[in-house]
Structure 1
Amino acid sequence: MDLEILLNDLEQLGIKHDEVQSKRSKKYLNITRDTGEFLAVLIKATNAKTVLEIGTSNGYSTLWLASSLPDDGHVFTIENNSCKIDEASENFRKAGLDSKITQLDGDVVDLLAELPQNIDFIFLDADRSQYLAIAEQLFSLLREGGLLVCDNAVSHKEELEGFNAWIANQSNLSTSLVPVGKGELLVYKA
């Protein structure tokens, strides 16, 4: 299936689905299209080859990430909702990008130890209450010169206060808050 058609279909599905779904755990909570476009440009601009995504949902954001990588690039994506994992897997297959994506099923705290070191790019879009607990592990996986992007940095600013304070206390990290989508916090590791 044509990637642009699939992305458009998933964008509309996500909006319609989340409008009628009352249970948060069943919502897709997809990124906005402008966030997807922004991530795609960042992947290309940073020459990223290895990407870690935390929070796959139905794979909408993963498709933006994977399609922006060079041929030898790869995305590791973590999700703990088995229904969403199955749906994402089907979307990756439809897009013809399944060979560039490794899905990891389970709790992020348990799975981080299984990932390769020197990741180029991390996209963080999951349970914000865990971010502070995994901050040290995340940044130890990120290579020097790598970039972490945290979604919902404006829309859920209060939930990220502890995580942001931890980042501010790290001498090797510098940040920029970009008003795209629901707010993207960019964290560069020197």
Structure 2
Amino acid sequence: MLPTAGTPTRRASADDRPARVPDDLHQEGRAHDGPPADRLPRLRDMAPDAVRPIRTPIRARRATSALEIGPSNGCSASWFAGALHDTGALHDTGGRPTPVAVDAAETLAGTPDASVDPVAPDAERPAYAGYRPHLRRVLKPYGGLAVDNAVGHRDQVAAFRELLAATAEFPVDLHAVGDGLLTGVRVR
């Protein structure tokens, strides 16, 4: 049956709205990260191919919050904001996110229990294993975890992946998107 004029066929989603903010931020991040040999000042935005699959569970779970940890310019956060807008948790996605410079471990320590879904650490990969107790604590039950560059920097993510996989509470999968996306779900 075809819809009649004036009858909406589906709800508008973030995919229908102009994607200029995340696209612009991603291009700015790539330009910024290009030549410097020192990786610490890099923005290290998650690749759009890695962020897109994270938006689906945000919408499906009707998530109300998301936490990105890393030296980003807000690119991934703007993608997450679009998905949160679709769940009704966020009412204005028109502007650019405002990155805040804080210590990742301190931020996780100060984040309330079971308050976020998902968490996307995209910072100093060797520190992830130390974040694990806080990540488990701050994630809502069945909350998602997404780690970018899990293939390209496999050696730096391996200890964290093994730590998650060693327990039944965090089943993990590796996806061939971007530079590899490691996902996990807190099932207990």
Task: With the length of structure 2 as denominator, give the TM-score of the two structures.
Answer: 0.79
User: Are residues 27 and 104 of structure 1, via their aligned partners in 2, closer, same or farther at CA, if it must alter by over 3 Å?
Assistant: closer
Superposed CA RMSD in Å reads 2.4
Instruction: Give yes or no for the alignment of 1:52 onto 2:48.
Output: no
Q: How many residues in Structure 1 have an aligned counterpart in Structure 2?
A: 168
- 1:156 partner letter: H
Whole-Å separation in 2 of the counterparts to 1:58 and 1:115: 21
Per residue, is there more strand in 1 or in 2? 1
Whole-Å separation in 2 of the counterparts to 1:42 and 1:72: 14
Tell me how far 1:41 sits from its aligned partner. 2.1
Whole-Å separation in 1 of the counterparts to 2:67 and 2:150: 18
Matches within 5 A, 1:1-190: 3-69=18-84, 70-73=87-90, 95-96=94-95, 104-118=100-114, 119-190=116-187
Whole-Å separation in 2 of the counterparts to 1:10 and 1:40: 17
Between the two proteins, what is the percent identity of the paired residues?
Answer: 29
Task: With the length of structure 1 as denominator, give the TM-score of the two structures.
Answer: 0.78
Query: Matched residue of 1:148: which SS?
Result: strand
Per residue, is there more helix in 1 or in 2? 1
Q: 8 Å contact 1:178–1:185 — kept in the other structure?
A: yes
Structure 2 unaligned segments of length 5 or more: list them: 1-16
- 2:134 partner letter: Q
User: Are residues 138 and 40 of structure 1, via their aligned partners in 2, closer, same or farther at CA, if it must alter by over 3 Å?
Assistant: same
Query: Matched residue of 1:120: which SS?
Result: coil
Q: 8 Å contact 1:104–1:111 — kept in the other structure?
A: no
For residues 78-134 of structure 1, what are the alpha-carbon distances to aligned partners after superposition, in whole Å with 9 as ceiling and x for unaligned? xxxxxxxxxxxxxx99x3365xx7x55321112222212212211111111110111
Tell me how far 1:165 sits from its aligned partner. 1.7
